[in-house]
Amino acid sequence: MIRDGALKGWPVTGWRQERSEIRRDVVIVEEPLEIQVALRGEVSMEIFPISVTMRTPGHDEDLALGFLYTEALIPEPSVIAQGLSLERPSPNEIRVILPETVRIDRERLTRHFYMTSSCGVCGKAAIEAIFVQGYPPLPEEEPVIPIGLLCDLPRRLREAQALFRRTGGLHAAAIFDAEGRLLWLREDVGRHNAVDKAIGAALREGCLPLSRSLMLVSGRAGFEIAQKALRAGIPILAALGAPSSLTLELAQATGMTVVGFLQEDRANVYTAPWRVKMDFLASGDRP
């Protein structure tokens, strides 16, 4: 679905086959969003600005909830049903008001998170932080995805990417069930935002943990994306690009299956390969 405010017309001088022309192009909108957390007090609410992220407008509620959950500021999925609410102080602000039953260390609300690859934190400390935050245990034996189905998911992702077809300027994160049915798809200029939006959508619908699902991302599988998928209980993370070494170390430690360079005719399975059923190897159809 193409949301209002996600696209903008822009004049461009195009060059095609030795000819130039002036026309209007469609570009994706990028604007800041400040995510705030509000805690109810006896007299008034305490408001904590948590993060400012550059995002594509649309599904902002999913983005805020997904970000707060994957960063463990929403401790459990059940918080959604305990009276959590959202406010929009302005078009580029969203405030998540936590129910009084939720107890959060206020120091965590003022700390910086592991947001980028250049955060300066060593890999060991980053992985240990994931274990401290907690994550749903991944199922050891399932789901098992046939390699043919897995390799068909990039096509299904492209067909569902309405904004990318219009602009060519977006990342996507899609959550599929074990039979390859698309459950949630979100697009954004930021790869982490797309992941948070998809997980936030599942959280709002009460579907976490996603222990029978897999996530496909349109770019590379960096550590931050892997930890977000892990926090949502997703046992298989697939990417059109490459995984990082820290992603693979985290996956190895937790039993997550990581697939990289996924295309219609190829895939690299880096960790927990038992979740990918290699039928063609048994049949001898391919070397």
Which residues participate in catalysis according to the annotation? 119
Please, which residues have CB within 8 angstroms of residue 78's CB and are 6 or more apart in sequence? Answer: none
Q: Pairing between strand 276-277 and 145-146?
A: parallel
Q: How many CB atoms lie within 10 A of CB 116?
A: 11
Classified as helix, coil or strand, 61 is helix
Residue 17 CA to chain centroid, in angstroms? Answer: 39
Q: How many CB atoms lie within 10 A of CB 88?
A: 11
Alpha helices, DSSP H, located in the chain: 60-70, 106-110, 123-133, 147-160, 162-167, 191-204, 223-231, 245-254, 279-283
Burial of 65 by CB count in 10 Å (0-12 exposed, 13-18 middle, 19+ buried)? Answer: buried
